[in-house]
Amino acid sequence: METNANKSVTNEQSQEYSLKIKFVSMTKNRFFAKDLACKPREFHAFIFVESGKASVTVNKRFFSVSKNDIMLIPSGSSAGMIKRSEDFTTRCCNFNAELNGTSLFRHCAPPYHCSLNEVPSIKPNLIKIEQYLESGDILSVLKAESHLMRMITDFLEAVPVINKYSSTDSGEFARRIRIYVENRISSKITVEDMAAEMGYHPKYFTVLFKKHMGMTPAKYIKDARINKAKQLLANSNISISDIAELTGFSTQPKFANDFKKAVGKTASEYRAANHIMGN
């Protein structure tokens, strides 16, 4: 199931959100691994505790769960069992959910654990999904996915959610980008890697980047490399060839060409005019 919604940002601009939801499977009593060092899960999962009690871990956090508790486990999480009562049973819905090409739960941080009282629609939706899947026809699969969509919506509406990558928070966006680039200034930096770090599809990330930073990612990265080179030229005796390497330029000629274009002087001329004595 895929839905597209246009949300107005300004009177002149709108940004598109692409949400894709795909049901994977229903299982019973088979989610939590006995080994606490289990591999990360491939899919998201809603887990409803039908009976009993258990102590479980999700990403090294400990939870005590009991009858009528609900857990949302994002993909990539490690979940393990510490102990359980003999009557502990669960019903689990595995699914994929992507927003703008990346995991839905990279854009928000819902709690792992809540009770049925907080999201009462979870249990009937799980039952409906199971009923539709028993028939196996295409229409029933679509109906099952519509209940999955409703379950996700109800959960996110009912529980506190932290928007980790808010597109309206320019200050936080800029801070994360600055730290990311500074930490990798000597390495190759791609738009794809930056987008993945921020939790966005590369194309959508580029749109957001221009909005928040006022330039393209490529220009920002090049400016950061040049500024770092200026710092090293003025405050150290490191050779120009080593500075080119330390600031991530592929070759010294490229560094020399880009530096002259950006600064209006060669690296040697800049160092002569700005070098701090004693370094």
pLDDT at 31: 60
Q: Go through the chain and tell me how many residues it has.
A: 279
Note the CATH number of domain 2-163: 2.60.120
191, 217 Cβ separation under 8 angstroms: yes
pLDDT at 169: 66
User: Which residue intervals of the chain bear CATH 2.60.120?
Assistant: 2-163
Residue 198: what residue type? M
For 41-109, the DSSP string reads PSSEEEEEEEESEEEEEETTEEEEEETTEEEEE-TT--EEEEEE-TT-EEEEEEEEEEETTEEHHHHEE
Q: Mean pLDDT, 10 residues at a time, over the chain (279 residues)? A: 40 57 79 54 88 85 87 85 88 86 75 84 90 84 89 82 57 86 91 82 84 93 95 92 93 94 95 77
User: Which residue intervals of the chain bear CATH 1.10.10.60?
Assistant: 170-274
170-274 CATH choice from 1.25.40.10, 1.10.10.60, 3.40.50.300, 3.40.50.10300: 1.10.10.60
